[in-house]
Structure 1
Amino acid sequence: MSVTQDAQINFETDKYPFCIVWTPIPVLTFFFPFIGHMGIALSNGVIRDFAGPYFVSEDSMAFGRPCRYLVLDPFKVNGGAVEWDECVSKATLRLMSYEGKNWNMIRLAFWMFFCGKYVGWRGAVRTWVPFIIIVTICAVIGMYL
């Protein structure tokens, strides 16, 4: 069995091996649904979240449970799963040379927005309902101005 077949995503326990995870940032994501907070998981599924300057939490994201996730292929990392964990500990996709690309938050945000999967229907609701409510309120107000 391969590393990716052995590593199972578990929504109930928030374990996302070899994944980038995303959660909305209250108020900011309500207006801009493509903006959120990201974390990256080790090969065992433990999410590392860079929650502030000089602080990295494990398995507790700063803005709540993940709503979206992107499964990455550890075999696209120079050194495979072992190198994956080492680079995640050092906090960078760039060190991994993932797909040989130069990674930054803008590229990652677009990738997550267009290719990320929702963590069930609740993830989609947490992402889109506040935005839809705000757009609806603005449209109704705009009709009467």
Structure 2
Amino acid sequence: MTAPARPRKLAKVPFVELAGGRLQGVVSSGSDIGRVYVSSVASGTYAFACSTNNNRPCGGARGSFCNHIRALINEAVLQYGAERVARYLKVETASGEPSASTVETCMSGTRPSQADTKDAAPVFSRFLRHLAYLELAPSAAPLPEMQWFPPTRTVA
């Protein structure tokens, strides 16, 4: 696991990952506290998808990136660093250190297409699984589903 490039606030984008050939994550709604959006951008093609947790399409993602996808890109850059996000998404940036705005601008300039939202359910499911760990009481006992992690210290 790589340490975040910079600390980030989790209120707007509580979950972001580079997985499955996509930048994907969960973005909070700006207008309804009970609604979240599952947003993604495909590596290489920049095909994007954005829908609610109830699989309703985002009204802002019509032909271009919506604000949810922009927020996802910004938070991914904070989490992983602009260079890693650009490399993963196969974004060709001008010379110099890329930033969230240059990554987004380079992808938007290629006229990305809207993708199917069929992959939203597994992303949202992983997000919910991560939330479940926050509800556990602090304990030093091992979690069965986490046993594949190597031990951090040797017991004598």
TM-score, L = length of structure 2:
0.29
